[in-house]
Homo-oligomer: A and B are copies of this chain.
Amino acid sequence: MRYHKIANETIRRLPIYLRGMLFLSEQNRKTISSQNLADIVGINSWQIRKDFSYFGDFGKPGVGYIVEKLIRHIKKILKLDKEHKTALIGVGNLGRALLAYPGFGPYGFNIVAAFDNDPAKIGKKIENINVEDVSRLPALSKRKVDLAIIAVPRDAAQEVADVLVEAGVKGILKFSPHHIEVPKKIKVISIDIATDLARLPYYMSA
């Protein structure tokens, strides 16, 4: 292994590899070759090897990669090896789907708090999480929450983000399509279904 600046694109792919490895682990596979993993995740084998080569000698020539070891290794790189307490803001349709989503666990994400501004929802329990008033957001700083998922309407996103940053949140995943302004040290990732969907027709053969 040499020193390399790690490509951004590599970081984007690591969670995909991790997903594949977790699947293999469920099935009690012990080792996997880059070619096998390529078939599972839909990424070329040489791309996989190149990506891994940034981080050290993961695999054994002639054998492949050891599933459990690779999982631990990728988790460590992505800093997923310890729990991340996560707050959800906005308990609408999407918010409820997120609370019910079982896929966060294996990555160490744990939704520990949910907030809304609708009095009809505040105080209710959804999926075992108590819905709190958004006015209580600033108190998050005391609760070791470092990550937040924003699932509120467009116009409220910036305001919510400001409070979250103030409360010490380090990373934000948002579903509102608008760009929000945050300090440079805060990382924001956006998911917008319509924006992704909008690429499809371009690639669809008539």
Residues of A within 8 A of B (CB): 11-12, 14-16, 18-20, 23, 40-42, 77-80, 84, 92-94, 96-98, 100-101, 103-104, 106-107, 109, 146-147, 149, 170-173, 177-179, 185, 187, 189, 191-205
Contacts and interface: CB of A to CB of B under 8 A. Distances in A.
A191 B97 CA distance: 14
Contacts of A84: 201
A100 B88 CA distance: 19
A28 B205 CA distance: 35
Given A19-B177, A179-B41, A193-B101, A198 B80 contact: yes
Contacts of A78: 198-199, 201-202
Given A19-B177, A93-B96, A97-B94, A196 B201 contact: no
Contacts of A96: 93, 97
